Chains A and B, each alone.
Chain A
């Protein structure tokens, strides 16, 4: 029997607000343990939560960026469960009335078709404390760091629309891009600002039943999410074929074993309304004002790049995978550089050069205007492409303008016919056979001669000009 997988994701995204969700403590979980705490986020008796407007705005922008519909009324509940990382015994979460419903992301599935993966809802919640287990001493001890307790989170719950691990990976990459675009989170699985749980079940191909699902946790990269889902599908298919029942439970992904291992029975605690946290009522005007703050989303921007700048859909999508790159590209174009030149030089020269130097676009010395000066010299034939690459390398080490670098290091392109003519004559004398081939109309030999002249010029000659002059000399077509 053929099986198909039914997969849904639950994604926790840590918002990058400056404070925690219910108090004014800095939202910096990485600081010295327990440095960022107060009676509210230590959940001391008598303390009352004070909901942060900034957390709300970050969460709303995130929802709007994913096409979700903000609910006019949402409510926090006490989600009851007990664990030492949550010593107050409940987590403030929106169990019944979430912040938004609907929304989704379009991806390209395995057969090349566009497919929309729907989001069921997005709710806000507070993060819990972090446990640290010290096993080294005579008595192993567990320590609790409350820096993360109360950090603002949203949980994105998808519909079970996914059928393959690759779809989950595509979705997560697109989600990460969208959320980074709106600026609500860094969405790094490696750093724990994005945490993904996958719910997986299998069923005979073509049926519509929903079978018992298994929850898989503990993946710390998008790659691991794909691997864990693929493993779990294989495991469940084998179990069903062997006539075993799938039981509702939670499994942990073990990246070393490349397998999921059972953790516990899945536990859903009850939720009790918390009258200490006010009901969140959002007016249509406020929601629209937030929508106006939304930057242009990647898919919209990519369409515009195709329309306005004449890029292909692939080129536009590539630039838009990172909002910084797309913004940089547009800044360069605004400086008057042809879009194709800008696209080509940003993606094939600038980005690799940054990676090589382990620099980020934002913090690099190559500001868009400075880069545009270089490209302008290139398009005016003041330098050639070889020289431009070298000037770019120098621009990382010196703050001087590209013009100054070109002048000081003699990168100017030689286009003067007098100077080129003497080089051409030398080359022709040295390579009579190639000259004969060119006279016989062989294009390849022409290329050879141009290369030789370039070499003789120390790479500074204008190749277009050489071709012109050679063509004149031999009466061939340029």
Chain B
């Protein structure tokens, strides 16, 4: 268990008598829990202890959930290197895991663990109390074997928060269970996403298409010619935001000191240099390069991002939901460089760029590949989860 656990709650008593009573929740140390270490996987925050509960943690507690502890995570949640996300589910130590999703980490971790993974719409769940890295892209992902549990959690945590002014004022949508009529739903397969896959991954995706078609959904092919720009936009805009945001994680304030600096400036530079890991450091340096030397490219990335958002919204006229691959088998398992990391998350990061909800479903037993993603328009979260529940139910009923 120590290989998974970063911090184990010594008093995991069920606090309330709410709708989540007794539900065991594991999270990562970038979600603030008052009194728990919140280093977010980085030496830059070594010895930092959260002072207050994140809004999402407060709402979970109030609803009766039990906070089991935190799992080991990658540095600031960027990629899955060093992450044990999904491990607490595999060990049956927790029912649900909260995993920050910056480029698809929650969905990729779900795929690794063979459970469901959901990234909500951007702006649906408060980010107050989350140690952030790419604020415009990241959001709290949820891992569970049961989509009903994910729905129950969203009922409790979604919606406006006076601690997070960036959330829209609109009420959270209704997360009650709802019926799905496959004959009235068109599911689009994004041609460019499919074509970008290796042959083996294409075959797995086709198995998923077949499964949904057999379940009675109308499957249509849709196209977004600019699809290939998603990783570029994520990498430029994301690295710039990260570089600016990570200014807060100056290490020094939390106790770290690297020796040898001639003055305060030298001390800061050396300490920061020693604090960040190689992968994150290269990301921050890349962001700084765009900030200081190629600001125009950053502005271009922001413009293209708006175009990609509009492009995905237009697809909603042709298909109610999208079916997409979740992993590309050809990508490296344990990426060590930025390029490899981006290759690993190429199928998932679109949803972080556009802010739309995306759901990972594990593959049908016996089917090739780990599973697939379903995505819907922004704030279609309850229907997207209902769609997932319908698909999973179809499998239990043996109706293949």
- Residue numbers of A with Cβ under 8 A of B are 39, 43-51, 78, 80, 82, 84, 87-90, 142, 270, 272-278
Contact = CB atoms under 8 A, between A and B. Distances in A.
Given A89-B248, A270-B295, A275-B135, A48 B32 contact: no
Contacts of B249: 45
B54 A46 contact: yes
A47 B252 CA distance: 18
Nearest to A78: B244
B250 interface: yes
Given A51-B165, A272-B241, A275-B136, A39 B291 contact: no
A278 B250 contact: no
Contact of A90 (B128, B244, B268, B292): B244
B94 interface: no
A50 B45 contact: no
Given A39-B52, A142-B264, A272-B244, 12 more contacts: A45-B131, A45-B249, A46-B50, A46-B131, A48-B129, A49-B165, A51-B165, A80-B291, A90-B244, A275-B136, A276-B127, A276-B166
B248 A88 contact: yes
A274 B45 contact: no
Contacts of B302: 273
B165 A80 contact: no
Interface of B: 32, 38, 40, 45, 48, 50-52, 54, 127-132, 135-136, 162-166, 240-241, 244-250, 252-253, 264, 268, 291-292, 295, 298, 302
15 contacts: A39-B52, A44-B248, A45-B32, A46-B128, A50-B163, A78-B247, A82-B268, A87-B253, A90-B247, A272-B241, A275-B136, A276-B132, A276-B135, A276-B165, A277-B166
Contact of B162 (A45, A50, A278): A50
B237 to A, nearest CB: 9
Given A272-B291, A277-B165, A89 B244 contact: yes
B136 A48 contact: no
A20 to B, nearest CB: 14
Given A45-B45, A275-B135, A278-B165, A88 B247 contact: yes
A257 to B, nearest CB: 26
A278 B32 CA distance: 22
Contacts of B248: 43-45, 87-89
Contacts of A142: 264
A84 B135 contact: no
Given A80-B291, A270-B291, A275-B136, A48 B247 contact: no
B166 A275 contact: yes
A352 B211 CA distance: 93
B158 to A, nearest CB: 17
A274 B135 CA distance: 8
Contact of A46 (B129, B240, B244): B129
Nearest to B248: A88
B163 A270 contact: no
A198 B362 CA distance: 63
A46 B32 contact: yes
Contacts of B40: 45
Given A39-B51, A277-B166, A89 B250 contact: yes
Nearest to B290: A270
Contacts of A277: 165-166
Nearest to B242: A272
A274 B163 CA distance: 16
In order of increasing CB-CB distance, the 8 nearest A-B pairs are A89-B247, A275-B136, A88-B248, A270-B291, A45-B131, A272-B244, A46-B32, A46-B129
B250 A50 contact: no
A45 B302 CA distance: 25
Contacts of A39: 51-52
A44 B129 CA distance: 10
A48 B165 contact: yes
Contacts of A43: 248
Nearest to A142: B264
A272 B247 CA distance: 12
A84 B302 CA distance: 31
A443 to B, nearest CB: 78
Contacts of B250: 87-89
Nearest to A144: B253
Contacts of B247: 78, 80, 82, 88-90
Contacts of B132: 46, 276
Given A45-B131, A275-B166, A80 B244 contact: yes
Contacts of A78: 244-245, 247
A48 B129 CA distance: 7
Contact of B164 (A48, A84, A274): A48
A273 B305 CA distance: 14
Contacts of A278: 165-166
Name, among B32, B129, B166, B241, the residue most crowded by chain A CB atoms within 10 Å (CB to CB): B166
Nearest to A96: B299
A107 to B, nearest CB: 37
Contacts of B130: 46
Nearest to A86: B247
Contact of B38 (A45, A48, A272, A276): A45
A278 B161 CA distance: 13
Nearest to A275: B136
A84 B127 contact: no
Contacts of B131: 45-46
Given A49-B165, A276-B166, A44 B51 contact: yes
Contacts of B165: 48-51, 276-278
A46 B298 CA distance: 25
A87 B264 CA distance: 12
A46 to B, nearest CB: 4
A270 B136 contact: no
A43 B264 CA distance: 20
A445 B223 CA distance: 110
A46 B264 CA distance: 26
